[in-house]
Every structure is written in C-alpha cells, then in structure tokens.
Amino acid sequence: MIRFEGEKDFSQSIADIGAKLIDARFVVQCIPDVESLKELETDRAVLILRPGFSFVRGTLEGTLRIVDAVAATGVRYLIANKGIGSSADVEATLAFEPGPNGTRIRWSAEVKALGGLLKLVPSGLIRGAAEKVIGDTWSAVEAKLNALATPPSEGRS
C-alpha cells in the first residue's frame, strides 16, 4: 500500500543493537506519542498513543508484536493500531549488517491496511505523518543507544 525504506548507521555492535531492537520493552521507549502501556512483554506490547495529527483525533490502541527476531541478523514488527472509527496495520523489517563504524540497519516499513476514516485521508498526508513518526523513532533509538553506551559520571567534584 504505502512503503518506506532506508538505512541507518550506528556505532554500536550488531550484538548490542540486536539485543535491544528485538525487545519490545526497549522499542516502546522509542515510539513517539505513547501515552500509556497496557501490556509489556519482551515480544509484545499494547500501548495507548495520542498522535499529534489533525486527521487522527483522540487516542489509538497499538499492539506491537515482534516476530522473526534474531539478534544477529534482524527482526520483523507487526503493528496494529485501532481507534474510534479508524485502524491501520503496519509491518516493519530491520536487517542488521556490519557498517562502516559499527552496524548498518537496512529497514523497510509498509502500511498494509487502513480502515475506517483513515481510508479517506489522502495518501500524501499519511505518508508525511508516517515519515515524521519514522524519523522521530530513529532519533529516539539513536539517543537511547548512545545513552546506554555512555558510562555514567563518577560524581567527582
């Protein structure tokens, strides 16, 4: 339906990145507009989102399922969102490979289905909103991975 893809380089090793990105407990911390969590396990999360888009009012309940997860090679996410009068199903795939200074992730995401009122929204608006969410999510992933790699200060005076 609507497809996105790209590459992202990280300084961390495949093992370090893979261990985080196959764990829903880490991934949900990187998703923008999360209002609350209803369920949280290593391979599944149910969250309440309050997206800041004019064409989506109120909240959405999102279910993130992690499938085909192998820390050394990649992961696939299935995301189902539903709200009052709207729904969206998304599939995202990440492939981990050695990069110039650590790890390169080749990723793709595809909106598989739109339901209810979202079917009436022009695809350009959907694409723009999705690109913003993708960009914000990658920024959060990078910030959280960098924070984990930075040793805590020793409290010297």
Domains of the chain: 2-148 (3.30.530.20)
pLDDT digits (tens, 9 = 90+) for 79-109: 999 988 889 999 999 999 999 999 999 999 9
pLDDT at 22: 96
pLDDT digits (tens, 9 = 90+) for 114-148: 998 888 888 888 898 889 999 999 999 999 999 98
pLDDT at 117: 83
pLDDT digits (tens, 9 = 90+) for 53-83: 666 667 889 999 999 999 899 999 999 999 8
SS (H, E, C) the chain: CEEEEEEEEECCCHHHHHHHHCCHHHHHHHCCCEEEEEEECCCEEEEEECCCCCCCCCCEEEEEEEEEEECCCEEEEEEEEEECCEEEEEEEEEEEEEECCEEEEEEEEEEEEEEEHHHHCCHHHHHHHHHHHHHHHHHHHHHHHHHHHCCCCCCCC
Average pLDDT in the 19-46 region?
96
pLDDT at 59: 86
